[in-house]
Chains A and B, each alone.
Chain A
Amino acid sequence: MTGRGAAGALRRPRATDKWQRAAGYGTVMDFLAARNLDETLAAKAQRPDAQLLAGGTDLMVEVNIAHRRPSRVISLRRVEELREMTSNRIGAGVTWARLEGSDHGALAQAARTIGSPQIRAVATIGGNVATASPAGDGLPWIAAANARIVVRSKERGERVIPWNEFFTGVKHTSLEPDEVVTGVAIPDDVPTAQEFAKVGTRNAMVISIVSCVVMRGDDGFRVALGSVAPTPIRVTRAEEMLNAEARITEEALKEFSRIVSEEVRPITDHRSTEGYRRHAAGVLARRLAERCLA
């Protein structure tokens, strides 16, 4: 009744500090189910080329569809330290399902739009950050909050990197090969008035055409967007324009919307066009700014 498994005796290897090798499926893969952060960092120091596996919702799509065959994989699923969450830090292993209940309103809103319930049950904020897709729906919130990315290596310990230095291009970050994203550090001054919205072809399982977070605090408006540039971006010129207004009039909001559309740097691809993305970015930013005023 078992397949290729040894009949009868049940072997129970569980997580160990030993790499295991899985042959077949066209290749050979060395696999480590790390039990804690130290073990993860030691393995990454020893094998910087190893692929980290968290929720698997990006990596396994590449395995299944693009026939990618990672030769070394370190699983983070059992690393308890990465699942810790405080008011100032979200562990990289915190799932989007948990973040649906976040006290940060726009982060919770973003969480509820990511993938589907099945995806959110396993996909993590650390995966969103480390994969660094331009369409990562958690990233505009990180940009608006001025959050920093916490990374760690065995050799050099912890580095805390401002978000705009961490994200360097389409799926490119300043993470070193032996480093692991351990969390997102949240400043104390994140405004409570914050809103998220995105545009896509349907509600569930949609990759954003444009996503946007607007926050409004003592320092004025903050506006961040996703899917309209190689990395998440802040539209500083639009923020400054709105913050210079004594009263937010209809005219001011129109001008704000126009500047947002002008400032973004979208492309045309199979999901949408540059023109539509510019238009939608302006509409979304204005709508969210109005919600923050309400």
Chain B
Amino acid sequence: MTVPIVITVNGERRSVDVAGSESLLHTLRNDLGLPGTKDACEQGECGSCTVIFDGAAVCSCLVMAADADGATVTTVEGIGEGAQLHPLQEVMLAEGAVQCGFCTPGFIVTGVHLLETNSHPTEPEIREALSGNICRCTGYGAILRAFTALTSEGA
């Protein structure tokens, strides 16, 4: 016997049997073929596994997969329209806000969630929204420039 769950991931209904107390992060990466969500600290410290879960940006490593049944999840693979990058992804490339790239999916998902809830965030609001994401290359200056460039464009 296993716990079968059904979740809507990036607009697609997916069925998967979860193993014991494993996290949604493992289910996404290992069973649903979505390795864009990164696995780093597994204690909610670094934000690299951030997904949008029922409308909230959360650490997927802290969601028990068995408990995710019925949820709607957006991962970095679901950001943008097909091959068309999201404006935030474009501006991060343009500003050189990607160094090793490992933290990037987490920053993108967190940032897209921020822009969905607040289309013109102030710099303090951007800093606060990104406070749960760590860039170990310390590329925060470029990341912040990308966000402010994007949010001031349409302002």
Which A residues contact B (CB, under 8 angstroms)? Answer: 1-6, 9-15, 20-29, 31, 33, 53, 55-57, 59-61, 63-65, 68-70, 73, 75, 77, 97, 115-119, 121-122, 203-205
Is B33's CB under 8 angstroms from A12's CB?
no
Provided the pairs A1-B33, A22-B20, A116-B131 are in contact, do residues A64 and B64 lie with their beta carbons within 8 angstroms?
A: no
* Contacts of B46-89 to chain A: CB distance below 8 A: 47, 50, 56-59, 61-64, 66-67, 69-70
- With beta carbons under 8 angstroms apart, the residue of B1, B33, B42 that contacts A3 is B33
Q: Inter-chain contact count A-B, CB under 8 Å?
A: 166
Neighbour of A5 across the interface among B31, B63, B129, CB < 8 A: B31
Q: A22-B18, A70-B21 are in contact. Are A57 and B62 (CB under 8 A)?
A: yes
What distance in Å separates the Cβ of B110 from its nearest Cβ neighbour in chain A?
Answer: 7
Q: B residues touching A (Cβ–Cβ < 8 Å)?
A: 1-6, 13-23, 27, 30-33, 42-45, 47, 50, 56-59, 61-64, 66-67, 69-70, 110, 128-129, 131-133
Q: Contacts A20-B3, A21-B1, A118-B50 known; A56 to B62 CB distance under 8 Å?
A: yes
The list of the 4 closest CB pairs from A to B, nearest first, reads A116-B132, A3-B31, A24-B19, A25-B20
Establish whether residues B22 and A25, one from each chain, have CB atoms under 8 Å apart when the complex forms: yes
Q: Give the shortest distance, in Å, between A93 (CB) and chain B (any CB).
A: 13
Q: Which secondary structure dominates chain A's binding surface? A: loop
Q: Could you say which residues of chain A place their CB within 8 Å of the CB of B69?
A: 13-15, 33
A56 with B67: in contact, given A22-B2, A118-B47 (CB under 8 Å)? yes
**In the bound complex, how far is the Cα of B61 from the Cα of A56, in angstroms?**
9
- Give the complex CA separation of A10 and B2 in angstroms: 15
Smallest CB–CB gap between A39 and chain B, Å?
15
- By a CB distance below 8 angstroms, the chain B residues around A119 are 44, 59, 62, 132
Q: Which of A29, A57, A121 meets B66, CB within 8 Å?
A: A29
The residue on A at minimum CB distance from B59 is A118
A-B contact pairs, 17 of them (CB 8 A): A2-B31, A3-B27, A5-B17, A6-B4, A10-B13, A22-B3, A29-B20, A31-B3, A33-B66, A53-B67, A56-B63, A60-B23, A60-B61, A75-B67, A116-B131, A117-B57, A122-B63
Q: In the complex, what's the smallest C-beta–C-beta distance from B54 to chain A, in angstroms? A: 10
User: Across the interface, do B4 and A13 meet the contact criterion of CB distance under 8 Å?
Assistant: yes
CB-CB under 8 A for A65 and B15, given A28-B20, A60-B63: no
Q: How far is the CA of A116 from the CA of B61 in the complex (A)?
A: 14
A121 touches B44 (CB 8 A): no
A20 to B42, CA, bound (A): 25
